[in-house]
Structure 1
């Protein structure tokens, strides 16, 4: 197993776990149980996504594509231009 990415928060971690699973990549979230200790523990580096060695490169490519994505023009709601409504 390789730790390939440190999500900013639990929501991003769950989103990425789902995205990787939809691509057939089994990933695990390390540090999920440490979130409750924020304040007592350092705030950064608690969460980490880990995948098997043979899937690490593909998982990194998918996460890089996720991080590089931007909303398509016209996807914004009329009342909030430039804000993507998920």
Structure 2
């Protein structure tokens, strides 16, 4: 069942995907981490390809361990809204 939070999350994802401005690396990492936590939760997987870049992404995601998927969705939405305003 799709709830209001899921709809807002999908809308925020579409908005973030349309951004053409270059965002600071820390903001990009937060977007990545909140998204991964929202869709995968604590089911971490690490891609060893692309070494350092993926290590930073994985670390950002790991820092959210224990955060609920709904909370991660809300944080993602909040971050996207703060970027596009």
Taking structure 2 as the reference length, what is the TM-score of the superposition?
0.29
Taking structure 1 as the reference length, what is the TM-score of the superposition?
0.29
Larger radius of gyration: 1
Greater RCO, CA 8 A, separation 6+ = 2
Of Structure 1 and Structure 2, which has the larger fraction of its residues in helix?
2
